[in-house]
Amino acid sequence: MVEQSPYASLYENDPVYQMAVKQLRESASILGLSDDVVEALRHPEKLVQVKITVRRDNGKLETFLGWRSQHNSALGPYKGGIRYAETVTPGEVVALSMWMTWKCSLAGIPYGGGKGGVRVNPKTLSPRELEELSRKYFAAIAREVGPDVDIPAPDVNTNPQIMGWYYDEYSKIAGFHAWGVVTAKPVELGGLGVRVISTGYGTALSAREAAKRLFGGLEGRTVAVHGFGNVGIYTAKYLAEWGATVVAVSDSKGYVYNPRGINVEKAIEIKEKTGMVTDYREGDVKISSNHMELLELPVDILVPAAIENVITRENVNRIKAKLVVEGANGPTTPEAEKTLHEKGVVVVPDILANAGGVTMSWIEWSHNRMGCFLTEEEALSRLDKIMTINFNKVYDEWRKKYSIYPMRVAAYAIAVDRVVKAMKLRGWI
């Protein structure tokens, strides 16, 4: 049986962690799970903190803290990204690793949940400093990870190049080419080129399938995407290609809105060129510096694809969309989700909607382990099939058994039940 983490005080008071636990408790209550099972599920199996000392280009030393949370391995090796941000906390990392457990379980892939982070603003580092930080962080957690133990991937402010440094550092320590130790690597190091688009592509797939059930399809439906980073860009791109009208997109600097639709390809070009989507000027477009206002626009589909806790009790009654598809992790608080459900708004939960990234990572990892490679077309086709089947499975389960609750309850019921059964079969509980 998994023992309670001795480091619980590091994360128990974190609001993101408390939100994750609240979601777990609500699902456990519906499933009839006992308090002791919930206690075993709410703590990570291991939480590692490491110190990373980097010599800056000016010769001074600077020390950063990093973490890796390994939440549950009943179904397989830990899986989850590593983020670089000044806001990273142990509680955030633990909560995200818990969500990864449910996400992997729901997707039906043989992984448990993990997550990592370093408290740093990577934009203040030179390329050399960033490489030193990355290599030292991964060397510090090298005993905790491995192709059959824990397989990290990119997250906020990390990318394939950083995964390449991780792969190289681990391979040096292990003494062999460990292609499967990380996913979303550069193609030349065994990665899949489509991995970078897969989370956004999967979010768009979830929106497409939900729109079929609610509206009869995407054609002509208006969409607002909050957050125009990797996830938001590709969500918007594919929804536009599949017939939806993307009317608004935002980044941290603000948002652009045109009720007749924006040119998504042009918006992507502007974002990549200037770093600010608010530099988009095509057509009769409204520009605002308050990106949070985008959430309240009169659209059919809202995709929160930036950060957690953006739909809250403060703004939930101003949400006008009839369908919310969570591209980000934890963008809707439990209280807000309950209100949305009471208003008839369908929320496709993050553990279902944004599972494209981890699913593509599994496709990459499994082929790395076999020593063979897929074409991009084959990989996307496999992702489309897996996510379409999973969405409709959850949707049907929700309508059949749990329709008085938000869809997240059905998703959690399937995911948590599978993990609990695996734990029982292994004799842990």
Whether 115 is catalytic is yes
Question: What is the C-alpha to C-alpha distance for residues 407 and 414, in angstroms, rounded to an integer?
Answer: 11
17 three-state secondary structure = helix
Of 399, 407, 414, 397, the C-alpha closest to 340 is 407
Of 421, 424, 423, 411, the C-alpha closest to 106 is 411
Which of 46, 115, 271, 322 is labelled catalytic? 115
- Backbone phi and psi for residue 153, each to the nearest 5 degrees, phi listed first: -155, 175
Q: Which residues pair with 52 in a beta bridge?
A: 64
Host H or E run for residue 116: strand 112-119
For residues 122 and 86, the answer to whether their CB atoms sit within 8 Å is: no
Q: Quickly list DSSP for 293-307.
A: GGGGSS-SEEEE-S-
Long-range Cβ contact pairs of 330-333 (< 8 A, separation 24 or more) = 330/16, 330/19, 330/20, 330/95, 330/99, 331/226, 331/304, 331/305, 331/306, 331/307, 332/304, 333/19, 333/309
Q: Quickly list DSSP for 396-416.
A: HHHHHH-TTS-HHHHHHHHHH
Active site residues: 115
